[in-house]
Chains A and B, each alone.
Chain A
Amino acid sequence: MLITLRPIGHLKELFPGNRERLELELSGTWTIKNIVTENFDVSPDSISAIVIKGKHRKWDYEPKDGDEILLIPPLGGG
């Protein structure tokens, strides 16, 4: 399956190339947690929330082909 990770704000600095979108071709079943921790050296502690198609998902959610996974840092806006 093809999924896209979108680290929001400064989270992109944690991923290779400081990119806003990272496309991953994955086979088998993956949870979001496994995608983030096994493909990248990123701590889940940095991520406050995960959103797919406007819905919050938890770390054990298994994304589907084509999903865009938004990784959100803590953000209160002052």
Chain B
Amino acid sequence: MSEDQARKVIQTFKYEPKRLEKGYSDRTLYVNLSDNTVKAKTISKETKDVFIGGRGYGLYYLWQAVTGLTKWNDPENEIIISCGPIAGITQYPGTGKSIVVTLSPTTGTVIDSNVGGYFGPFMKFSGWDALEVQGKAEHDVVVYIDGDKGVVTIEEVPLGDLNTHVLAERLTDYYSESEDDKKNISVVSTGTGADKSLMGMLNFSFYDRKRKAVRIKQAGRGGIGTVFRDKNIAAFVIKFSNVKGDLNNPADKKRIDDTGIKMHKEVASMDPKQNNMRKRGTTMLTPIANDNDLLPVFNFKYGSHPDAKNIETWVDKFCHTGTDGCWYGCTVGCAKVVSDFELRTGPYKGQKVTVDGPEYETIGAVGSNVGVFDRDHILECNFYCDTYGIDTISFGTGVAFIMECFENGIINKDITGGLELNFGNGEAVMELLHQIAGGEGFGKIAGQGIRKMKKIFVEQYGADPQFLEDIGMEAKGLEYSEYISKESLAQQAGYGMANKGAQHDEAWLIFMDTVLKQIPTFEDKAEALHFFPMFRTWFGLVGLCKLPWNDVVPADNADTDEPQKVPEHVENYLNLYNGVTGKEATIDDILFESEAVYNFQRVFNLKMGLGKREHDAIPYRSVGPVTIEEYESRQERYDNQLKELIGVDPSGKSTEEKIKIVREYREKQYEILVDTVYKRRGWTDQGIPTLDTLKRLRVDFPDVVGIVKKHL
């Protein structure tokens, strides 16, 4: 039987491809896999004014779809992909980002995850401001959007291996008509790891013409890939040809062109003198983190290690042929790749593959945090996590937790099926990854994430619950990303108060706080914890990548009044936003837009049973030293703090006594900061947005107010 004969189209929906106006089609695509409904929905002006796009649209649609009792694996749960009005322009770096939203399997509330690749812009140009997928298919299906012909189908096609490096290539071939046509295809897929674990992620592809390879970027956090597979989705595929720089039909194309030209010149001349992202990608953060005690080592116990120098340099490994942007026009081009990497383990052992990465987070997660300072190990782990559809951050941080439990005798080889999960055992890490992806052995437990593992270890293996609470690095159920926040009170709150859980994309304040000492008071920290989360949220409403904002800066940045905000780039972004939409928004306007969506998401957490002060709690390992070895590794620092900050003489005291005093002080500091931030944000002392705040932000919809009133 030919492949075409094996293709079974379950549903067909024809539509008129629609011209975008000022970045929007004002139309979204709804697909229900339970009853095979495919239809167009319109977005009202009122909705657009408040929710803008991207994460905003994702939150808006998910709110309508679920109740407070909906679970991640109920058919009512949705996966929504949306990018926003700026996404898809090609004149400026970092304009291809989408946000994916769903109810997370590990947190139980809404997760939003940002991702590059071509799917989002192609979807927009095909005439859809968002894709909303609900229900569950009976068998594995592909949802295919042919943006050239104006046809959406739900179909079954010959799939074979569902792991991304095989499937995305297969589907790119299947849906393209020629080698040249492959650039017009993007595939969203995951892998068997998402079937078998709660930490599944989504890969969004683009075709790399120079290297003749399918490349992938990840919507990594929160288990969205697990929801995807629970719905029996094999892939979303889109085709769109003839990408041009004006498909958004911007209000003022010249404004965008001029801003883009200026920025491209800046990147070309400045990046080589600054972070050299174009050669190093985000690996450039590794030595910075290690030098400043921020690199997670041995489950966040320490911030640096002498062997970290082995995993700092990657330029010699990368294949430098071609540009490495994850959307057209990105001159920062930080999506680095290692070509022809020979795998040493697992089902594809012996194959030479393309590894997308590593990013800094992966180096921290599956390298330093688990104590394996070996580049080939990191590459192997990166590849398999990607193809299996497993989030490298949740995997690495989860394994680091397991290793500390193993070394403390909480679990042993009988429980791990013989795996010696000591820090530094790279072979055991890889074997565990394969087990998670196969749903076998100890992998069945490890794949559930830290929050569930803590419960299992206490109930089944008699672990001390307080110790596990202290060292289990998760907040709201989401595993921590790869920075040591112990010495930065602002970053502790940046992690603990983030809506989605312990991800740093809301605020990265470590340097401002501890190295530059620019936010010394609680009020300073609270102000930073207002501006940065709100500005960073905005990127996810409009389709932008944050890296070109502040990983490369203009020549005179140090001569501006607030160089940490990179004012010229803020001006650039306003020019892009206003140039596309025709608005005349100021920085205060866009912060207001973000604040509205941010507070809506806070109330969404409340709806789903989180969203209060108790849910902003964080593990003590993220605040201060838990163990004697941690304290004594930085004894001088902590003893000085005892003297200078707490007014206690450390001499004569045991390390345990000193740990207790430091802990009491630091935990109190966190609570004071939380109080200050709540006040700054217009929330109650329980962290609930007040009715005045909701009204000011125009998100005082009846159902929002109804949820909040129950808790006031």
Contact = CB atoms under 8 A, between A and B. Distances in A.
A49 B553 CA distance: 10
27 contacts: A8-B288, A9-B291, A45-B273, A45-B274, A45-B555, A46-B273, A48-B550, A48-B553, A49-B516, A49-B557, A51-B518, A54-B518, A56-B562, A56-B563, A58-B559, A60-B559, A70-B515, A72-B516, A73-B274, A74-B553, A75-B511, A75-B551, A76-B508, A76-B551, A78-B359, A78-B360, A78-B508
A50 interface: yes
B387 to A, nearest CB: 23
Interface of B: 269-270, 273-275, 282, 284-285, 287-288, 291-292, 359-361, 483, 504-505, 508, 510-511, 515-518, 520, 546-547, 549-553, 555, 557-559, 561-564, 566
A47 B284 contact: no
B558 A50 contact: yes
A39 interface: no
A76 B546 contact: yes
Nearest to A56: B563
Contacts of B275: 10, 73-74
Contacts of B508: 76-78
A78 B558 contact: no
Contact of A77 (B273, B483, B516, B561): B483
B516 A74 contact: no
A51 B563 CA distance: 10
A47 B284 CA distance: 15
A48 B563 contact: yes
A70 B516 contact: yes
Question: Which size bracket describes the interface of A in this complex?
Answer: 20 to 34
Contacts of B483: 77
B504 A54 contact: no
Given A73-B274, A76-B547, A49 B558 contact: yes
B93 to A, nearest CB: 13
Nearest to A76: B550
Interface of A: 8-10, 20, 43-51, 53-56, 58-60, 70, 72-78
Contacts of B566: 48, 74
Given A58-B558, A70-B516, A46 B274 contact: yes
Contacts of B546: 76, 78
Which 9 pairs, one residue from A and one from B, show the smallest C-beta to C-beta distance?
A: A77-B508, A76-B550, A49-B563, A9-B288, A54-B517, A48-B553, A74-B553, A46-B273, A51-B516
Nearest to B294: A77
Most buried by A among B269, B510, B511: B511
A77 B292 CA distance: 13
Nearest to A53: B517
A63 B498 CA distance: 39
Given A43-B273, A45-B270, A54-B518, A78 B504 contact: yes
B269 A45 contact: yes
A48 B285 contact: no
